[in-house]
Structure 1
């Protein structure tokens, strides 16, 4: 998922140069992925989804790898939009059903603390694909070769997942009777989905255009080969760190703190276009965005422990709506202003609002224990 979902960012500068894409077109391609992500989250919430969670999970991983590789085989805007739409749908299934399946199993054997490893995988995929893109570009590969190579790398990992996640035996999928009463949506889930939407809007500007902005900056361009790698490396320990913070001060207060730090990084990316600013942005973005995702899932699980797949899906859907709006608006602002300051400040404001809303009515957690 870390490869298929996020490798667009380091490949985008090469695509812009080779295909003469405008920033608005680049943002539209990113948004197509997020439209698929929203659709996938809503479908994954279906209580009577046929088949096993594992089959959907593994199928989505394969589909994500295939659509990633196929990006190098097309050359039209419509082709890119369709492939990223399908890939986004697959990535939502991976996150929602994979998390539902794996967190269930960890809870069943009393190893819930290992959930950080599950979410850290996205950072690993980002770092690995960033290193692969950098090496291939240094060897002279064009944008087509980059897509095919990273898609092949994603496919090569799927057999490992098949081995690590064997057929369901510990926690079978919970059937839902058609005669069962409709559960009332837990109080607070709508606000959590709204906050996750603001988070999606706030992080996506930097997550989409960071490498392109670094390439365009004479002061920071030397960091282009490593800036996305730094994002991935910072993401690796972030879920464990923010999970620890969540146990100390509560998941919502930790969520707010992470949003504040991410807002600082996002603003720095637009206002401080130097090497130091790029490094700060990469470190704060990578160090928070998967932590916020994991904390959002923890809060959703606490709100709806008996229907966590639906809670995960609604939270992911809110995230998807924010992501859809973000890249299109950011691309238009980039084309109109010629700089990253306006999109960054707008994104930072959304993150600050999320930090404010998530803690509304939440008692301050004790630091004891």
Structure 2
């Protein structure tokens, strides 16, 4: 998932230079991916789906790898939009079914604390794909070669998933969970709003960080380190935020993480130079998967009888927010010549999300115990 969902960011500068893509077009391709994420989340929320959760997971990861490879086969905007849309669908299915399958098994084994290992995989994928793209670029690969390298990397890893996630016991594999009724009370409503604003705010830096670096001659020396920093910071982030979630409460920890991420997004403005860019990369990596994990924990706790539907609704709202921001941010950059205004607006959305997470915490205090991560 770290490759299929996020490798577009380090490849975008090479694509934009070779194909003369504008900021708005680059943002539109990113938006297609998150619109697919939205569609996939809605499809994954169906009460009954044929087949096993494991089969859906492996199929989604195979689809992600395949669409990554196919990005090298065209140079038209329409094809890019279609492929990234399908990749987004695959990413949503992978998130929903991997989380439902793995977290359920960990809970049954009494090892829920190991959920941090599950989510750390995204950071590993970002870090490894960053090294792969950087090495391929240094070797003279063009943007097509970068997509091929990333796609092959995904395919090589896929058999390991099949080995490490064994088939479910007979009668467990059918996708039948979610028979309970999904309820949206005041705390869960605030959590949904926070998650939407999270998607709206984080995606600007997550999409255009490397484009911003490539566009500033003074920052090009640190380009190989920036996206790698995002991945390395992401690997331990869920474990750290789970600890803070247990101490502060899931919703207060989520509010804090959103404020920290807002600081990182604001620091990505060109005026802060290399220290600001590296800080932005570290704070983005250190928070965005942690916020996802905290949000998922809250959604499952608020709707234990309809956990998959709650996860899908959260993912859909996240996807909606993430789809709206990139084209607008790209257009703002085309008009202003920089990403400063877009970054400040994104940081504002994250601060608003933190306020919603805090409101969810306050509402929960009045209505019952807060969910634990």
TM-score range, shorter chain: over 0.9
Which residue does the alignment assign to 2:2? 2
Structure 2 partner of 1:60: 60
More displaced, 193-202 or 33-42?
193-202
Superposed, which structure 2 residues align to 1:13-52 within 5 Å? Answer: 13-52=13-52
SS in 2 for 1:50: strand
Per the alignment, residue 141 of structure 2 pairs with 141
**Conservation of the 8 A alpha-carbon contact between 2:49 and 2:176:** no
1:175 — aligned with what? 176
Change (3 A) 1:86 1:286: same
More helix by share: 2
Mapped pair 1:85 → 2:102: no
Q: How many residue pairs get matched? A: 364
- In the alignment, the residues of structure 2 paired with residue 187 and residue 61 of structure 1 have an alpha-carbon distance, to the nearest angstrom, of 35
Aligned residue in 2 for 1:115: 115
- Alignment map for 1:82-231 (pairs within 5 Å): 82-169=82-169, 172-173=173-174, 175=176, 182-231=181-230
CA 356–187 in structure 1, closer or farther in 2 if over 3 Å, else same: closer
What per-residue deviation string (whole Å, max 9, x for no partner) do you get for residues 163-209 of structure 1?
A: 000001295556369xx785544553332222111001100000000
| Distance in 2, Cα, partners of 1:327 & 1:236 | 25
Counterpart CA distance in 2 for 1:227 and 1:146 is 17
The two structures have a TM-score, normalised by structure 2, of: 0.94
Partner of 2:277: 278
SS at the partner of 2:169? coil
8 Å CA contact 1:189–1:311 kept in 2: the answer is no
- Pair 211,46 (structure 1): closer, same or farther in 2 beyond 3 Å: same
**CA deviation string 1:249-287 (max 9, x = no partner):** 111000000000000000010253411011100000000
Corresponding residue of 2:251: 252
Confirm whether residue 356 of structure 1 aligns to residue 355 of structure 2: yes
Distance 2:18 2:280 in 1: 27
Say whether the 8 Å CA contact 1:219–1:273 is kept in structure 2.
no
Q: For each residue in 1:40-62, what CA deviation from the matched residue of structure 2 results, as whole angstroms up to 9, or x when unmatched? A: 00000111111111111100000
- What is the TM-score with the length of structure 1 in the denominator? 0.95
Distance 2:224 2:360 in 1: 44
CA RMSD of aligned residues (A): 1.7
Unaligned runs of 5+ in 2: none
